[in-house]
Structure 1
Amino acid sequence: MASTLHTDDAVVDARGLARTERGRQKADRRAAILAAAATLFAEHGYAGVTIEDLGAAVGVSGPAVYRHFSGKSAVLAAILEGASRALLDGAERVLGEAPDAASALRSLIRFHVEFALGDADVIAVQDRELERLDRDARHQVRLLQRRYVEHWVDTLSRLRPDRAETELRFRAHAAFGLLNSTPHSARIPGRRPADGTIRGILEEMTWASLMS
């Protein structure tokens, strides 16, 4: 009897491991599709990319993409909502670790610089393709973005209580414009300085634009 129990337990464990491995592989494939889609949408535009293109980019057939997403629009929604959630979660993490308002703002700037340099394709897709989302998906992305902006405005208001909230919000949006556009211009062949230099320049310019 004990032997049978041990055998049954081993079968259950093996099945559990198999399910876990399949789940991991599915998650990895989904992430690969999103990464490839961001690059393709940035390079060719949403309209210029097909489901077959997405599949080919990750080594599967076009129809295989439907195992992970209901269609191309769902891929776009996942890219933009995922980026907005990552920004919001990151902002809340760095704010929770900052000892004071000045440190909080510097951490927010540093965090966004890393995002802008690491996810320039996503930023390009956000700028050009947001309006292609359906109403509900677009609303969700904009809601996440507004919450992200408010963290910046709240932090700025602690440092500049003498300034109106409307001005601080304008400064935050202007800072995003600087941070989100510069990585693309820096990618032009022959014009990109070293990554460390780019980071330093962006952080210094953003701090100055917010605190001047």
Structure 2
Amino acid sequence: MEKLTADGRGGSKRRREILDVAVRLLAKHGYHGVSMDDIGAAASITGPALYHHFKGGKEQMLADALIPVSERLLAGGRHWASLHSDDPQAALEALVDFHLEVVIDSPEIVILHLHELDRLPEEPRREVRKLQRVYVEEWVGVLCRLRDGLKPEQARVLAHGAFGLMNSTPYLSLGQEVSADETAALLRAAALRALDPG
């Protein structure tokens, strides 16, 4: 899968580069720990030029990072669930693989998703939450087909628990003590056991 860049909505190459710099800084220092001046300095761009690309400042940068990743997750979730609609076990494994690929390829965006979503203005925050809810329902449908008698509300608990497990990867030192591939394999096995322990 193509690596998730911060800006999934197009724009100039320079704009995408600036947004990638902003995402790295915001993930490392937090929303309130980074100023537009910090982002401009790190991206080698002046303040007026920075606002030319992002008139809404940091809020716009955050929305331009979080909305596309939510759209990408939903599109991928729908794709894999539908591709294996006749085999829920294969669908579940594909969903886990897809989610882990996104998380490991784009740890900074995952960190922003987990910790800075509430910094968004109301409308884009609602959009992200709606996309998240629909993504979860793709997992719920697969889990309910896989496990007889599992209620949708129970499947949501399992799905969110698996997300918490898989989303832990941004906090690990990937590529140092444990490689990204080994991390993915360990988390894949753990997530599948958590989702279908029987």
| Distance verdict in 2 for CA 1:201–1:67, change over 3 Å | same
Displacement after TM superposition at 1:26 (Å): 4.7
Query: What is the distance in 2 between the residues matched to 1:185 and 1:65?
Result: 30
Question: Does 2:11 match 1:34?
Answer: no
Query: What is the distance in 2 between the residues matched to 1:26 and 1:80?
Result: 16
Query: What is the distance in 1 between the residues matched to 2:52 and 2:24?
Result: 21
Task: For residues 57-105 of structure 1, give each alpha carbon's deviation from its aligned partner in whole angstroms, at most 9, with x where no partner exists.
Answer: 3332222122222211111111111111111112122233335211111
Match of 2:37 among 46, 49, 52: 52
- 1:82 matched residue in structure 2: 68
Over alpha carbons, which structure has the higher Rg?
A: 1
More relative contact order in 1 or in 2 (CA 8 Å, sep 6+)?
2
Displacement after TM superposition at 1:186 (Å): 2.3
SS, match of residue 162 in structure 1: coil
SS, match of residue 178 in structure 2: coil
- 2:121 matched residue in structure 1: 134
What's the C-alpha RMSD, in Å, of the aligned pairs?
1.8
Displacement after TM superposition at 1:159 (Å): 0.3
Query: What is the distance in 2 between the residues matched to 1:115 and 1:26?
Result: 22
SS, match of residue 161 in structure 1: coil
| Distance verdict in 2 for CA 1:201–1:68, change over 3 Å | same
Query: What is the distance in 2 between the residues matched to 1:162 and 1:90?
Result: 26
Q: Is the 8 A contact 2:103 2:170 kept in 1?
A: no
SS, match of residue 116 in structure 2: helix
Displacement after TM superposition at 1:189 (Å): 8.6
Match of 1:178 among 162, 165, 174: 165
- 1:161 matched residue in structure 2: 148
Higher relative helix content: 1
Q: TM-score, normalised by structure 1?
A: 0.81
| Distance verdict in 2 for CA 1:116–1:26, change over 3 Å | closer
Q: Is the 8 A contact 1:113 1:199 kept in 2?
A: yes
Give the counterpart letter for 1:199 in structure 2. Answer: A
Query: What is the distance in 2 between the residues matched to 1:67 and 1:92?
Result: 36
SS, match of residue 193 in structure 1: coil
Displacement after TM superposition at 1:54 (Å): 1.9
Question: Does 2:68 match 1:106?
Answer: no
Query: What is the distance in 1 between the residues matched to 2:95 and 2:187?
Result: 12
Query: What is the distance in 2 between the residues matched to 1:78 and 1:108?
Result: 24
Query: What is the distance in 1 between the residues matched to 2:93 and 2:175?
Result: 30
